[in-house]
Structure 1
Amino acid sequence: MKVLVDADACPVKEIIVEIATKNNVEVYMVTDASHILFYPETNVHVVTVDQGADSADLAIANRTEKGDICVTADYGLATLILGKKATAIHPNGFFYTAENIERMLFERHLSREMRRQKKGKSGHIHKRTKEDDMTFLSVFEKAFTSK
């Protein structure tokens, strides 16, 4: 088992490194060339890919194997991860499942259509809280204990 992280805008990288290191699990932080990451932990590897719309997603999908854990906010990537029988977790602290991914993809499609037709409201992203981090921590730790 390894952990793969869609690291470009991931707000929980430090939590991931802490828990994975405690569990002696390899972590692959995948980022495009516009970001610079460095981790002194020997179990954390930074994978830098070309800039491009799906470069990091494809690199993660290609490296994922059955039993791995992937952290991503991208629903499309989560779908690919689930198809490989790996665990997909959103940084906000919930598991992607076969039961919820189709609904999320459909809602994303509807939102895009509304924006395209200029009928949608602009999305307000709330500021991340300590409670958000604790929710993620709980779900991430559960992913290790359920393996």
Structure 2
Amino acid sequence: MTPNTRLLVDADACPVREEILRVAARLGLEVIFVSNGSRPIRPPQQAMVRIVIVTDGADKADDWIAEEARPTDVCLTADIPLAKRCLDKTAFCLNFKGHPWTQNNIGSALAGRAVSQHLRELGMGGGPPPMAGADKSRFLNALDAMAHAALRVARAGG
């Protein structure tokens, strides 16, 4: 049996839920929103959408996504270490601003994250800029392209 392409969403801080649902509905993809329950998620009125609430605790949602990820899935997250774990399982990975995570760029992203974290600990620097309309548009286009790539992998037998 050919594995289905799924969208695995790190849902607690996801600013692009509507865009994800739009692409999933158009392509007939299953969506799994994974949350630790810290923020309420309104269940969408759409077939093939599940919400998984994991036990409370640091990184439990990340653990669930990383354990579930397979080569035909698209993992959607802003969490760079989670993206690395999904890439290690050969899943596709995209951040919420439409930038794909790949084996070629994840190492430098992890290094940049470590530097940023150190600067924040020293009181220097802030968080990422807020989400803009262009970010949502880029995300929508990138998710569409990545979902099609994952579907090709699934059709080829995963």
TM-score with structure 2 setting the length: 0.86
Q: Which residue of structure 1 aligns with residue 148 of structure 2?
A: 145
Among 133, 137, 141, the residue aligned to 2:136: 133
CA RMSD of the aligned region, Å? 1.3
Q: Runs ≥4 in structure 1, deviation > 4 angstroms? A: none
- Return the alpha-carbon distance in structure 2 between the equivalents of residues 122 and 35 of structure 1: 26
- Return the alpha-carbon distance in structure 1 between the equivalents of residues 25 and 55 of structure 2: 27
Specify which structure has the bigger relative contact order, considering alpha-carbon pairs within 8 angstroms and separated by 6 or more residues: 2
Displacement after TM superposition at 1:145 (Å): 2.3
- Return the alpha-carbon distance in structure 2 between the equivalents of residues 62 and 114 of structure 1: 31
Structure 2 unaligned blocks of 5 or more:
153-158
The count of residues paired between Structure 1 and Structure 2 equals 145
Q: Which residue of structure 2 aligns with residue 33 of structure 1?
A: 37
- Return the alpha-carbon distance in structure 2 between the equivalents of residues 145 and 64 of structure 1: 17
The alpha-carbon distance between structure 1 residues 115 and 80, as it changes in their structure 2 partners (threshold 3 A), is same
Q: Which residue of structure 2 aligns with residue 18 of structure 1?
A: 22
Q: Percent identity?
A: 34
- Return the alpha-carbon distance in structure 1 between the equivalents of residues 127 and 6 of structure 2: 33
TM-score with structure 1 setting the length: 0.92
SS in 2 for 1:99: coil
